[in-house]
Each structure stands twice: as C-alpha cells, then as structure tokens.
A and B are shown apart, each in its own frame.
Chain A
Amino acid sequence: MSSFGEPGGPVRRSGVGEATATGTAALLDSDVRTADVLARHPEDVPPPASFLRRYARHPLAVVGAVVLLILILAAVFAPVLAPADPTPVLTTEVLTEARQGPSWEHPFGTDKLGRDQLSRVLYGLRASLVVGVGVAVLSVVAGVIIGSLAGWRGGWMDSLLMRFTDLFLVIPALVVLLVVANNPDPSFFGLFDLPPATEIPGMVMLLAALGWMPMARIVRGEFLSLRERDYVEAARAAGASDRRIVFTHLLPNTTGPIVVFATLAVGIAILNEAVLSFLGAGLQYPAVSLGQMISDAESTVGTDLAYLILYPGLVLFVLVLAVNLVGDGLRDAIDPHSRG
C-alpha cells in the first residue's frame, strides 16, 4: 500500500494491505509477507498529542476517518434512520411497491419484492461493520495469545505453535470458506455443533478462524526482538514475574502493529463476507448483507433496474476504502520511520 505520496516508502509496506488488494486474494493467499513488513516497529508508542498531529498530516487519512465515522453512525442508528423494515412481511402492499426507481419515498428505489433499498443498505452496512469488527477482534485475540506464547516462551512451544500457524496458512482459504459456509448444519467432525455461517456469529468465527495467522506471526516477531531488550532484562533482574513483563513491558510496546493489523483485518473481513455472499455462501435471510443484496440483484444487470446493484456496492466500496485509508494513516502515525 502506500505512503501518501511522499518519497521513499519502504518496499512492500504491508502484506495486509496487499491482501486487501484483492478481497479474493486475501481468501486464497493468506498473507505471509505481513509479518516481515509489519514486524519492524516502534520501540515506544508515541504520546497521543504528537500521534494525532502526525495522523492529521495526511489529508486522505483524515477524510477516511470522517467518512468511516459517518458510516459507523449510520450503522448504529440504522433502526432510526431506515424509512422502512429491511425484511418486511411480503404483503400485497409491499409487493405493489416492487421495482421502483429512486424517488423521495424510496431514495435507493425498491427491489423485486418491494423492499426499500435504503433501509436494506443501512442494515447491510451494520452487518458488514459487525462482521468486520468481530473478525478483527477475534483474530487479534487469537493471534496475540498464540503469538505471545510462541515469542515469549520460545523453544518447543514456539516451534509447535508456529507449525500450527503454518498449517492454517497452507490451506487455501477460499476453498474452506465455500465448503464450510455452504454447509447448513456444520459440526466439528461430528463432535460438537458450530454456529452456521449464514448468520453473523458463525460468519465471524469462520472468517476469524482463517484470519488470525498474520497477527500471531507479527506478535511473535515483536516479542522475539523485545524480550532481548535491556529494560526487559532489567525487569527480570528486579524480580518481575513473567506475567508482569509480558503485560506491562511487551504487550504495550506491540500496540502499534496490533492496531494496524486490526484495522486492515476489518477491511479484509468485510470484503470476504461480501465475496462469499456473492458466491451464494454468505449471510442469508433474515440477515441482510451488502454482498447478498448485490447477489440478489445480479439478474438486473443489463436492464434499467441495475441501480439495485449500484448502491449496496457503492457503500461497500466506500466503507472498505475508508477503513484502508484509516489503517494506512494509523501505520504512518504510529511508526513515523516506516515512511523512510
């Protein structure tokens, strides 16, 4: 991805960003490069004032933050803002409203079932954000636990956990996603039931299960370098417990890369959910998602009704763009050295 037009961005700044490069690429090529690039990082998280100032230096990052804030507010207040029920009971009244172009009453028009598209887009946005944030949080939690155990303990624990991570990286994610997401009644090898991926919790778990590996590698890399530092040595000499060292010295100094990874993970998860929906394996009724709306309206392409794919796609695109801009801005603000 980029520095915002300034010279000398380091080569291949972000594997994560590159994975954003293709929603689908992210699906297949779980990104190994992330670790290498995100892994060189700040000794200290800089004080907040200078952090904000550095962030504000990038106009695109500021625009991204503002747009993202607006979208988040729209999603949070969707029940208030939406003019109609996104999944109404299909009465005659609703059905007579079918296939109306954009108007004051229905700013984004109505679909073939007479459902108000603006309302559906707002709820779809909500689902996208919940999925994105949920996946990012779960991936970070899993990645931090595994990565810090591996990086701090080292030895056989490190080898074991990293082989485990590699195992997940080897699997082509798209294949797994489609197989599992297509299964209406998933269970873990018949041992216990898993939540179906047609609903938000199942989708979040599925995407997180295939997205935590870069985080584990990043955190491990950070810990490996941080644990050799003098101040860690000093803390240990002073008799600090492992737990104290990890939680007060190592983790706080890893905040930067974690935050950057989390932001970019949100964008990747949102795109992946949309792609899955488009391939017929994403969130299903009664859940509304932007990808599902586009998929439902695919047959309108080549007719005058194609506005039905326009709005949900536009919101999806702007959302992912805003998230990526914020992620890039955060990276530069957290680690000023990264732009070389």
Chain B
Amino acid sequence: MWKYVARRALASIPVLLLASVLIFVLVREFGADPARQRCGASRDPVCITRVREQLGLDRTLPVQYVEEMRHFVTGNWGTSLRSDQSVNELIGDALRETAPLAFWSVLLSLGIAVYIGVTSARHPGSVRDHTYTVLAFAGIAMPTFWLGLLVIQAFTYEMQQRLHLSEPFFYSIPNPVGSGALNSFRELALPVLVLSVQLVAGWSRYQRSALIDEMHGDHIRTARAKGLTERRVVWKHGFRGSATSLVTVVAIDAGALIGGVVITERVFSRPGMGTLLLAALRDGDTAVLLPWMLVVGVVVILANLFADVLYAALDPRVRLVTGRAS
C-alpha cells in the first residue's frame, strides 16, 4: 500500500511544477512590478533599475524560476520581494493562523453534513428532506463574502444593540490581546460558520445520494432480515459504505477550500494563507507566491493520499495496488 501512496504522490509532482511555472510566468508578465512598488510614487527610472538589479529581477525568467525553486528545495525560501521579510516566517505564521480555521470548519461541516445527509436519505421525499434540499440550494448560491458581511452585522453590531451588551460577544477581527479557549471561540466562531455554509451544502447533498444508493444494496436487506434495529442498519452498514465516497469528495474539495479561505480571511481580516496570497498577488511577489503554491499543493496532495488510505481502511474490497491489477 505504501508503494501505491508513494507512486500517487510522485505522480502529482509534475502537475504541481507545471502549475508553478505557469503562475510564475503569468505573474511576472501580467502582474505588478515589485521594483516599481518599492520605488513608490516617484517612479524614478534610476531607482527602478537599481532595485531590479538588487532583487535579481533583471535576469531572464527561467533563471529566476530555477533560482526560486532551488531556494524552495533547500528549505531556505529567501525574502519577500516587497518587504524583505523571511518567506519561511511569513508562510509559517500564515499557516498557524489558517490551520484552526480550516480544521474547525471541515470538522463542523462534516458533522452537520453527515447528520443532514443521513436524515434526508432515511426519509427521502419527507418535509425535512425537502427543507434540507432548499437550504442546500440556498447555501450553494450564497456569495461567501456577502454572507460574511451579513454575519458580522448580525452577530456583532445588531446583537450588541439588541442585547444591550457593553461589547460584542463575537469578534469580527482577530483579538491580539486575548488568549485562552474562550477568546479563540469568540474569534473563530463567525469565520468558521461562514466558511462552513457552502461545505455543508455540497457535502450534505453528496452524503444523501451516496447513502440512498447504499441502502439499495443486498447487504442492507440482509442486515434488516437479521432483525437489526434500523438505526444500526443505517449507521453500521449503510453509512459505512457511503462514507468511502464522502471521504473522496472531501479530499477533492481540499483544493476548493482554499478559495473559501481566501474570502473568509479577507472578510474577517485574518492574517492567514488567504491574506498572504492576496498580498503576494497585489505586489507581484513571486518570492512568496511560489513557496505558497508549493506548500498548499503539498497539503492538497497529502489530503488526497490520506483519503486514499482511509478509503482502503473503510472498504476492505478496495486494494491499493501498484501497476497492473493482480
């Protein structure tokens, strides 16, 4: 199995490299010029030429790309083209900021999506099922940034006014002076909620159809014939079978999650990976952008590998094989 995992990981690397080349060329060709930005409003051509030389931007693109990649592989990712800050630190700090947001959102979304999906699938066509269908459509059509602003308005300003609180309970921006679990909760509750809405909408529909398909299987009829309670039939036999496909979808969505993170961090002013990406794009800062892409790419690849392994663990019929089927 580990051979299979390794092979899958290696197969993703060329795609990642190709994407990084394309982005590098695009940002350099179409994006902002860091040298011009550093020289400020003066636009002094002498300054621009000098800074370009200092930053090494006067070399050809292939040379610059190879240099960046060499940096990345050695683990010393150099400094930002915009601010001279260490890229390792920038990305490390941003990851620490994004990790709890992504983790809690995925966990919460999984819990709710499984609950909604299973409830709907057990009684297809019921009022509850129809309600969840409508809600899922609403969640899918909901523009995340607008939802974020609405949530801030409702849970900070309106809530404070209505309940006559001295300060809002939930924070719409990170609170740098606070610490502890309660502070984290007040900080994370709203962004996690906003990021989860679309995940829940997509995953719950998926869980629903996967379980409905599963419940048509012979093993379900056998389980019922054995006289198991319906609850046991659904969770032990039905859900377990449908979970394999949910795992796959969640892993595929790991890439899509990034888009949501970018918007959510922007709305809630959180200095995470999304904010870092927006800043790097604004500044044409390829020294940050390339390591950013590679780190995120590796995380996405790992998520997919984890899903493969989990898939095999959940479904003994699946064997992860290398080469020809045996």
Contact A170–B18 (Cβ < 8 Å)? yes
| B interface secondary structure, majority | helix
Contact B29–A189 (Cβ < 8 Å)? yes
Once the chains are docked, how many angstroms separate the CA of A193 from the CA of B143? Answer: 32
- Within the complex, the shortest CB–CB distance from A12 to chain B, in Å, comes to 6
Chain A residues whose C-beta falls within 8 Å of the C-beta of B157 in the assembled complex: 301-303, 306
Contact A313–B150 (Cβ < 8 Å)? yes
Chain A residues whose C-beta falls within 8 Å of the C-beta of B29 in the assembled complex: 189
Contact B140–A8 (Cβ < 8 Å)? no
- Within the complex, the shortest CB–CB distance from B232 to chain A, in Å, comes to 21
Contact B145–A321 (Cβ < 8 Å)? no
Chain A residues whose C-beta falls within 8 Å of the C-beta of B260 in the assembled complex: 22, 24-25
Contact pick for A28, options B22, B256, B289, CB 8 Å: B256
- Within the complex, the shortest CB–CB distance from A78 to chain B, in Å, comes to 21
Once the chains are docked, how many angstroms separate the CA of A165 from the CA of B90? Answer: 34
Contact B281–A179 (Cβ < 8 Å)? yes
Q: From known contacts A25-B260, A294-B145, A317-B141, infer whether A5 and B124 are also in contact, taking CB-CB under 8 Å.
A: yes
Once the chains are docked, how many angstroms separate the CA of A28 from the CA of B145? Answer: 16
Once the chains are docked, how many angstroms separate the CA of A170 from the CA of B18? Answer: 8
Chain A minimum-CB-distance residue to B32 = A182
- Within the complex, the shortest CB–CB distance from B301 to chain A, in Å, comes to 14
Contact A172–B23 (Cβ < 8 Å)? yes
Contact A267–B141 (Cβ < 8 Å)? yes
Once the chains are docked, how many angstroms separate the CA of A25 from the CA of B124? Answer: 28
| A interface secondary structure, majority | helix
Chain B minimum-CB-distance residue to A175 = B23
Chain A residues whose C-beta falls within 8 Å of the C-beta of B138 in the assembled complex: 317, 321
Contact B141–A302 (Cβ < 8 Å)? no
Contact with B along A296-312 (1 / 0, CB 8 A): 00100111001001100
Task: List residues of A (169-193) whose CB comes within 8 Å of B's CBs.
Answer: 170-172, 174-176, 178-180, 182-183, 186, 189
Task: List residues of A (1-57) whose CB comes within 8 Å of B's CBs.
Answer: 1-13, 17-29, 33
- Within the complex, the shortest CB–CB distance from A96 to chain B, in Å, comes to 26
The segment from B38-46, B49-57, B203-211 found at the interface with A is B203-211
Q: From known contacts A5-B124, A24-B259, A171-B19, infer whether A317 and B146 are also in contact, taking CB-CB under 8 Å.
A: yes
The segment from B81-89, B125-133, B309-317 found at the interface with A is B125-133
For residue B174, CB closer than 8 A to chain A, the reply is no
Chain B residues whose C-beta falls within 8 Å of the C-beta of A1 in the assembled complex: 136-137, 140, 205
Once the chains are docked, how many angstroms separate the CA of A179 from the CA of B29? Answer: 9
State the 9 A-B residue pairs at the shortest beta-carbon distance, nearest first: A24-B259, A25-B256, A313-B146, A321-B141, A21-B202, A7-B124, A29-B256, A320-B141, A28-B259
Contacts A/B (CB < 8 Å), 18 sampled: A2-B133, A2-B205, A6-B124, A7-B125, A9-B209, A12-B206, A12-B209, A18-B202, A22-B260, A25-B257, A28-B259, A170-B18, A171-B23, A183-B31, A189-B29, A275-B145, A309-B153, A313-B143
B residues contacting A by CB (< 8 A) are 15, 18-19, 22-23, 26-27, 29-32, 124-125, 129-130, 133-134, 136-138, 140-146, 149-150, 152-153, 156-157, 172, 198, 201-202, 205-206, 208-210, 212-213, 216, 245, 249, 252-253, 255-260, 262-263, 266, 277-278, 281-282, 284, 289, 293
A residues contacting B by CB (< 8 A) are 1-13, 17-29, 33, 60, 167, 170-172, 174-176, 178-180, 182-183, 186, 189, 267, 271, 274-275, 278-279, 291, 294, 298, 301-303, 306, 309-310, 313, 316-317, 320-321, 324-325, 328, 340
